[in-house]
Each structure stands twice: as structure tokens, then as C-alpha cells.
Amino acid sequence: MKRKIAAVLKAEIAGSEAAPVAGARLTDARAAVRIASERNGGRMLPVAAEPEALVAEFQSAVEAVRAAVDVQATLRARNKGLPPVDQLAFRIAIAIGEVIEGAGDVPEETLSTTQRLIGLAAPGGVCLSRSVRDAVVSKLKLHQLDLTIEGERPEPTSQHTLVERPKKAAASAGRSVGLSDVARNAIAVAALVFSLAAIALWMLERRSEAPPPSAGAPQAATPAPASQAEVKAKPVAGTLEFKPAYAPDPAVVLTAQRMLPQAWSDCHGTSADKAVDACKRLLDSGIPKGDELADIQMWNGKALRDRHELDKALEAFDASLAAKPTAEAYSLRGNVHYDKGTWDKAIADYAETIRLDPKNGEAFNNRAWTYYRAGRHKEALADADTAVRLLAKEAYVWDTRGHIHAKLGNRDAAISDFRAALAIDPANVASRDGLTSLGVN
């Protein structure tokens, strides 16, 4: 199989997935990783040995880093609204490595490199290989901590030392920096820490951090975040900050779609029962506002109507329209009023739909049929004519007008409309019954 070089991102939950926070929150958090990766140009990769692994490839390191920032910003914002016991955090690693083109599995050496970096990342943090860091430093301004890895076999010829310390300070440390085969594949390891505050993104939480050294003063190493027992690292404060232009907009991060992506998807794309449960979860979170709230209430109303809970459906559509009046919500609420037999209210909602969307042929057809059921046949015919003009390729509008013509005694016109409906949809039972009622086979 053909291989290619790509920026590879791997995300791993910090702690045990068997903890009480697992379940729906874990599903949403994992979905946030997938959505952020795909939104930033990434492609999720299969890992045969770890079916639940979250691994993505990117054409550029910049896209991968932006995706990592996106993920951690979303999860950090979500955690702020949860008690500590319910919070979830991910460690993320990004390295340059080989991947299989197409749908092939991720090579073991690439997984080993990213897994090693994940061991250096703190919960909520991102660890990058030196090659990734070098690729993004000129494009994204970052606040960084460089890590020296202790316990590796020294290689004096290597020029890829991560920490630039004065000779005096380096000598006092009594340790040298070397690169193993795995580290050499990644070129070196640099932990990049981002701020999630208003401008800078701090994604690596430290118990303490020394102030930036003054000009010409030696750089003293500060304690690194806890990492795997077999890997010890000492960070030195960097001097880069994250560009506000690339920081996720809090208004975008703090949305129901971003923070509860699985519930968002289920609310409008599944069975009625599942949709109602998902919509309730979104509404109970208190996150949706404005347009999102209007959409969720509208989807909830549709699902409730499907479950024949008409009064609750009306409440949902009322809430949707209060948040944002739309032609679609008025039309859907009109359908519920039609189901309840409250013709005048249904007609009023269809009229408002047409006011907001004058070319909405379905609304004209629905109002025509409601007029027909209410015995207002001449008004029904006027709307049916408009519906046929707007939706001439739809069988149901011809069927509607055929029934109205039949009721008005326009036999030939009714037969013509029923036949037009059957020409589009030969299985249209209502039109066949209409012809039969007129004595036509």
C-alpha cells in the first residue's frame, strides 16, 4: 500500500473511561474531537489495534494545530459548566509521520511516536514534535514550553536540542539531551501550551510558573507537569503567544452544536423518541440561545408531533417562534393545528408562512387543503392554482386541486388533475380514488 507523509493528531482521554463521567459525556467529547478535526481539514483514520482511538491526518501541521486548539477550547468551555467529577479532559499529540493512502490502517511507528508525545501532555494540553513546532512557529504565534527528555542515550552530533540554556546553567544541570530512534523520527519533542483565556489560549495547566527571564539573565528550568513515570521532562518558559486571529471565537465555541454534538445530531436526525430525548438534553443544558434555541425547539416540535403529542408540540413551536420567527416553524405549527382540527389557526399559520416566504408552494397547498376541509372551496381553489404553478412536478398538488374541482362540480377539470397526479406518481391512491368517485376507471 502506498504511504505518504502527513501531520498526525492523536487524542486520548486523560484518566479511565470507566469512570462515572463516561457514557453520554464521553460520546460528546469524542465527537468534538472528530468534528473539530474534520472542520479543520482533517480525516479520521482507522486503527485496527485500537478501534476507539481518535487519530486524524492533516495535509499541513498548521491545520492539525488549529484542530487541537479547537478541541481543547471546546472541552475547556464545556468543563466550566460541570462539577469536577463530571469533567473530561483529553491529551493531544501531533507529529509528522507516515500514513496509508485511502482507508488503510495507521502504521505502528506513527502510533508509537504520537503515543510517546501523549505521555508528555498534561490533561487539556497538546504536545507537538519538534518538526511540527518548527512548521507552525512562523504561522501561528504560540506560548510554549520546550521539554528536555532525560534518560536517553546522548548523541553529541545531534543539533536538535530543544532547550537553549546558557552553558553555565546546562553544566549545573549535570544532564545532556539525546535522541532515541523514536525521538529522532519525531525530530524532537516540544510541548506547546495554549491559553483559553480571552486572547491567549492556556491549554496546559501548571501548578506554578516562573516569570519570563529578563534580558541576558540565565533561564532557569521550572517543574514540568506530571507525565509518565519512565519519561522525565524539564520545561523552560517560551516567549511566543497565540495570535488572537487564530483563537477560537468564544461565541462559536460555546454553542450546543459544539459542546453537545451527539445530542445535536440526534435531535433532528433520528427516530422521534430518540430525537425528543436528545432535544430535551440540549434544552436542559441551558446552552442554546437565539437561532440554536429556535432550531432545537422546532426539531423538538416535529418529533413530538410524530409521537402524536400535539399539545407539547405546539408548546415547542411556540418557543421556537418566540426565539426566532421563521416560515418553516409557522408552517410546522400550522400542521399541528390542522391535526387538531383548528382550521382557522392552521390557516393563519400558513398565511404567515406565505408572508415570510411568498414562493412556498407547500404552504399554499396546505392552506388550500385546509380551506377545502373547512368548506371554503373557492378560496381553496385560488391557493391550489398557485401551488400547482409553484410545484408543477409534485403529484400531491395536482391531487389537492383535483379534489377541490370535484367538490365545486368541475368534473372535467378534476379528472384532468387526477390524471396529471397519476402521471407523476402512478401509486397515488388518493387520485385513483378520486377518479373512481367520478366514475372513471
Per-residue pLDDT tens digits for 283-324: 988 888 899 999 999 999 999 999 999 999 999 999 999 999
Count of other CB atoms within 10 angstroms of residue 95: 29
- Could you tell me if 205 and 124 are in contact, meaning their C-beta atoms sit under 8 angstroms apart? yes
Report the relative pairing of strands 90-100 and 126-129 from DSSP bridges.
Answer: parallel
Rg (CA), the chain: 31
Query: What is the rounded CA–CA span in Å between residue 154 and residue 131?
Result: 20
Q: Which residues of 39-51 are buried (b: 16+ CB within 10 A; e: fewer)?
A: ebbbeebebeeee
pLDDT score at 50: 80
- Could you tell me if 252 and 258 are in contact, meaning their C-beta atoms sit under 8 angstroms apart? yes
- Of the segments 88-92, 252-256, 417-421, which one has the largest average pLDDT value? 417-421
Per-residue pLDDT tens digits for 176-225: 223 333 333 333 334 443 333 322 333 333 333 334 444 443 333 333 34
Query: What percentage of the chain carries pLDDT values higher than 70?
Result: 71
Task: Please spell the DSSP secondary structure of 291-357, one letter per residue.
Answer: HHHHHHHHHHHHHHHHTT-HHHHHHHHHHHHHH---HHHHHHHHHHHHHHT-HHHHHHHHHHHHHH-
pLDDT score at 143: 58
Closest CA to 73 of 170, 183, 199: 199
Stronger pLDDT, 344 or 281, i.e. the higher one: 344
Q: Cα 410 to the chain's mean position, in Å?
A: 54
Could you tell me where the DSSP H helices lie in 119-247?
130-137, 167-173, 181-185
Per-residue pLDDT tens digits for 233-243: 444 333 333 33
Residue 153 — very low, low, confident or very high, per pLDDT cuts 50/70/90? very low
What's the pTM value of the predicted model, to 2 decimals? 0.54
pLDDT score at 275: 94
Residue 22 — very low, low, confident or very high, per pLDDT cuts 50/70/90? low
Per-residue pLDDT tens digits for 120-133: 887 888 888 888 88
Query: What is the rounded CA–CA span in Å between residue 267 and residue 274?
Result: 7
Query: What is the rounded CA–CA span in Å between residue 22 and residue 29?
Result: 10
Average pLDDT rounded to a whole number, residues 254-276: 85
Per-residue pLDDT tens digits for 67-98: 998 888 888 887 877 777 778 888 999 998 88
